[in-house]
Amino acid sequence: MLSKRILRGVAAGEITEAYLRWPSRLAEPGSQLSTAVGLIGIGAVVRVDPAELTDADARRAGFGSAAGLRSSLDKHGRGEVYRLVLSFDGPAPQVVSQPVVLGVSERAAIDRELARLDVSAPRGPWTRQVLEVLRRRPGVRAAELAAEQNRPVSRCKSDVWRLRELGLVEPVADGFGLSARGRAFLGGG
């Protein structure tokens, strides 16, 4: 979602806002992203008119001018423009992944949620295919996944976030991989 340039700028205190073009809002106010530079807080997510962006807005986003920011927005993504207010919330906690054993009821609940996601998708079942790719290639980026599936990057990110909300996926390096829960689910444990 956020480029390395933005992440480094937020961590250094030089960037406090990001402007992204999305087909629909893909982040929630009050959420946190665990990234390579640490925890990034999202304080607000507001749809804005790019024509009304000022040079001051651009500087808070790490650009020299509003024209430069608008040019960047024109090149990346489709849809509405959203302003994200960002903060550096400190280093990401070091989590030691413990083996997970899923009970019958928990496995059934995951199966139901994946089935619900599959049935609601116009393209048909997709969840297990994405989970298998993440198992085979930990750290795969959403852009690579999108290219493989011939789908927009924003849609692939949204899919991965849905799986992440179920606790099956976690950030790995610059991309995504299976969480301990996701590995246990696919491994039958």
The confidence score (pLDDT) of residue 76 equals 82
Buried b (16+ CB within 10 A) or exposed e, 151-182: eebbbbbebbebbeebebbbbeeebbbbbbbb
Residue 188: pLDDT band with limits 50, 70, 90: low
Of these ranges, 56-65, 73-82, 155-164, the one predicted with the greatest mean pLDDT is 56-65
Question: Are 153 and 143 in contact, with CB atoms under 8 Å apart?
Answer: yes
* pTM passes above 0.85: no
Closest CA to 122 of 151, 148, 100: 151
Question: Are 69 and 19 in contact, with CB atoms under 8 Å apart?
Answer: yes
Helices (H) and strands (E) in the chain, counts: 8, 6
22 - beta bridge partners?
80
pLDDT digits (tens, 9 = 90+) for 24-57: 888 889 998 888 788 999 999 999 999 999 999 9
Closest CA to 21 of 64, 67, 66, 83: 83
Closest CA to 27 of 10, 42, 49, 7: 42
